[in-house]
Amino acid sequence: MIKNLPNKNFWKNKKIFLTGHTSFKGTWLKIWLEILGAKVIGYSIDYPSHPISLYRLIYKKKIKSENILNDKYLKKKIIDHKPDIIFHLAAQSILSEAKKNPLDNYKTNIIGTASVLEACASSKNVKLVAIVTTDKCYEENRILKYFKENSKLGGSEPYSSSKACAEIISKSYVNKFKNLNKKIITLRAGNVIGGGDWKKDRLVPDIIRAIKSNSKLILRNPKSTRPWQHVLDCINGYLLAAEYSFKTNKTFNTWNFSPPIKDQIQVIDLVNNMSKNFNFLNNVIVKKSKLYESKKLNLSANKANRELKWQTNLSQKNVMLYISDWYKAYFNKKNMKIYSINQIKHFYKIAKRKNL
């Protein structure tokens, strides 16, 4: 057993209820859980991107549209399936959509989170619910070098404020869950990148579309710094946190997952690195957006490093190669389920080498 990777013996035959299982992160999490031998029940309203969706590409099947705001149906499904652990990823995750439709954003991210927690409280079998939020749940503070888990929550626009509310709602269930012998964790990460993301207004999908169509790439804030991390590093953190929390007596806990500050790079540097991997001469246009975004988002992952033995296993170079190679395989019509599983297996090899 490697200390910075999930324990297969723990996850084997565990029943997992996964909301947002068709999302970019949700699909990667589902693949990994299945590799570990878990039994995964998915719950999503639709495919998050059209016409291409990672879930549809990997699993090649239609889904039943299931809404987390339908609280009675959600509760019945959770009670009927008797999961041990719930990962709640279903959310409205695009800043521009939140600005256009703030009420829908608030309903999904706030009421949706409450619906999941209420449903979990009604299930005798659920022992742990993991609420996935974001690095943007913190109140903006230009004085702080980085945000810790106890930094003040807040939000300067609808998306970030809705995620801060999801955090507050999660913590408000502590007493109720303690009496029911259940646990809640919240998992904070942002700017997660990797193969298979096609959602709009995200940097990597925008780069891939520009490369594929040989078109200009429009950037809003090329000099903004972000804690870019590969989806496999992020999900490894989610799995380690759930495993750790399932075994402890603590009712509530939360962790940041972020690469070391020295590895956090500017938007334009990521664009240039990706372009080199595709031998693409990028033609960048800077177009200022009215959409508000903070210039710097640095998280401290010291708590996850210390308690979970978690670390980012992929170097900046490996992150870029993993992403570029995945999309190249897709364009070359490879079997992307097999290819994605092999990327997870290769991730294990890298993690084991780092753990020597």
Identify whether the C-beta of residue 234 lies closer than 8 Å to the C-beta of residue 301: no
> Given the structure tokens 């210039």, which residue do they identify?
295
For the entire predicted model, the pTM comes to 0.94
- pLDDT computed for residue 292 by the predictor: 56
Greatest mean pLDDT among 53-67, 108-122, 264-278? 108-122
Alpha helices in the chain (DSSP H): 8-11, 24-35, 54-59, 71-81, 95-100, 102-106, 112-122, 158-172, 174-179, 203-213, 231-247, 267-277, 302-308, 316-331, 336-354
For residue 190, pLDDT beyond 90? no
Q: Which 3 state secondary structure label does DSSP give 295?
A: coil
- pLDDT computed for residue 114 by the predictor: 97
Least confident stretch, 162-171, 212-221, 229-238: 212-221
Report the C-alpha gap between 214 and 203 in whole angstroms: 16
- As beta bridge partners, residue 186 has 131, 254
**Two tokens at 33?**
């859980």
Report the C-alpha gap between 119 and 115 in whole angstroms: 6
**Two tokens at 340?**
């994605």
The tally of domains found in the chain comes to: 1
Residue 288 lies inside a defined structural domain of this protein: no
58-94 residue pLDDT tens: 998 889 999 999 999 999 999 999 999 999 999 987 7
Residue 330 lies inside a defined structural domain of this protein: no
- As beta bridge partners, residue 252 has 184
**Two tokens at 288?**
């200022």
For residue 98, pLDDT beyond 80? no
Task: Supply the CATH number for residue 71's domain.
Answer: 3.40.50.720
200-231 residue pLDDT tens: 888 899 999 988 888 888 887 788 878 889 99
Report the C-alpha gap between 318 and 294 in whole angstroms: 27
Among left, alpha and beta (phi > 0; psi -120 to 50; other), residue 194 is left
Helix (H) and strand (E) counts for the chain? Answer: 15, 12
3-state DSSP percent of the chain in helix, strand and coil, to 5:
45, 15, 40
- pLDDT computed for residue 94 by the predictor: 78
For residue 294, pLDDT beyond 80? no
Residue 280 lies inside a defined structural domain of this protein: no
Residue 267 lies inside a defined structural domain of this protein: no
Q: What is the length of the chain? A: 356
End-to-end CA distance of the chain: 12
User: How distant is the alpha carbon of residue 264 from its chain centre?
Assistant: 17
Residue 323 lies inside a defined structural domain of this protein: no
**Angstrom distances, CA of residue 178 to CA of 21, 175, 249:** 27, 5, 9
Q: Which 3 state secondary structure label does DSSP give 299?
A: strand
Residue 159 lies inside a defined structural domain of this protein: yes
Domain extent at residue 22 = 8-199+227-262+295-315+335-354
The phi and psi torsions of 236 (rounded to 5 degrees) equal -55, -40
**Two tokens at 195?**
């193969």
Mean pLDDT over 26-45 rounds to 97
338-356 residue pLDDT tens: 999 999 999 999 998 877 6
Residue 309 lies inside a defined structural domain of this protein: yes
- ∠ CA 287-292-293, rounded to 5°: 90
Residue 99 lies inside a defined structural domain of this protein: yes
> Given the structure tokens 């959770």, which residue do they identify?
78
Instruction: From 133, 81, 126, select the one nearest 112 (Cα to Cα).
Output: 133
**β-pair type (192-193, 229-230):** parallel
